[in-house]
Chains A and B, each alone.
Chain A
Amino acid sequence: MMLLYAVAATDSTGETVDTPLQAHRSRGLTVFVEPRTQPPERSMHELLGFGRALHQLWSYVPVLPIRFGTVVSDSDELDQLVAERESEWTDRIAAVTGCSECIVHLPLPEGVPERVRDEQTGTDYLRRRAAELKQHDAETAELKALLAPYASEITKLSSIRPQEARLSVLLPDEHVEAARTAIRDWGENRPGVTVTGPWPPFSFCQEESP
């Protein structure tokens, strides 16, 4: 059994030093795998170990990360998988090469479940919430416009915390610092705006649906 980590376009067999990974060359791609006797446990230890090895690999070679927990039974199954996906993966690797992902956290307007005193009716409450959400949409659009000159791609991620939205940005490496500076300046009067990364291009492994 093999646990899959990432796909690269180059013949990158020398990039697995200090990791448990092996480079499996198949057709025009290299898949980085870890030979295992059983699937990974659903534990933070396994997950973070996977992330650590993946991050180290990405620091040496452009890769498409593979979602944690993906396994194949043997090299024949892996070859078959590569044959099915080679074109798609090659295109996406070209799109993310030289780029990093940064994630921007945007606090949503305060959600106050109970009516404040000066709201006389449910309609007042709904109007206020609609105004708050409209303001948030406007801020999101403003941030997207701000990042457009730097970004190769931008996508909205699902929220993982209440009252917060996330935008993920694929940035050419030479634009990462400029983009972060622009976000920092933009966020100076917006408490709670936070950026994480640069990360491997986790959110840009497939074409965005139209």
Chain B
Amino acid sequence: MTLERSPALDETSLVDLVDRLIDGGVVVGGDIVLSLAGVDLVYLGLRLVLAPAHKVSLPGSGRQP
């Protein structure tokens, strides 16, 4: 069992963040959406940044993943 609550993002947190940014949130239909159909490419890119992932931190006020 692992719980993350630190200023840095570990691999699982980074995967969730990237996934939610490109597959969550308000979806606006029509042609004003810049399609990110290449999700697989984004995930491929994700693997490339996993090494320095521990250096990725998010600002906040007590609500940090």
Chain A residues packing against B (C-beta within 8 Å): 4, 7, 18, 39-40, 42-44, 47-48, 50-52, 54-56, 58-60, 64-73, 77, 81, 85, 89, 100-101, 103, 105, 157-158, 160-161, 166, 173, 180, 183-184, 187-188, 190-191, 193-199, 202-203, 205-206
Does the CB pair A71–B32 fall under 8 Å?
Answer: yes
B59 touches A64 (CB 8 A): no
Per-position 1/0 for B11-42, Cβ under 8 A of A: 01101111111111111100011111010011
Contact A105 B12, beta carbon cutoff 8 Å: yes
Is A65 in contact with B25, judged by CB distance below 8 angstroms? yes
Known A42-B41, A52-B58, A190-B1: A67·B22 in contact at CB below 8 Å: yes
The reply to whether B25 and A59 form a contact with Cβ atoms under 8 Å apart is no
Q: List 28 A-B contacts (CB under 8 A).
A: A42-B36, A42-B38, A42-B41, A44-B18, A48-B49, A50-B21, A54-B21, A56-B60, A59-B62, A59-B63, A64-B25, A66-B28, A67-B22, A67-B23, A68-B21, A69-B22, A70-B28, A103-B16, A166-B16, A180-B3, A184-B3, A193-B1, A194-B1, A194-B12, A196-B13, A198-B64, A199-B65, A202-B20
* Interface range on chain B (Cβ under 8 Å from partner): 35 or more
User: B26–A7 contact, CB under 8 A?
Assistant: yes
B28 touches A196 (CB 8 A): no
Q: Which residue of A lies closest to B2 (CB)?
A: A194
Kindly state the separation between the CA atoms of A194 and B3 in the bound complex, as whole angstroms.
Answer: 6
Give CA–CA (A55, B40) in the complex, Å: 24
Give the shortest distance, in Å, between B61 (CB) and chain A (any CB): 5
Asked if residues B28 and A51 are in contact (CB atoms below 8 Å), the reply is no
A209 CB, min distance to chain B CBs, angstroms? 13
B42–A70 touching, CB < 8 Å:
no
A55: which B residues are within 8 A, CB to CB?
58-60
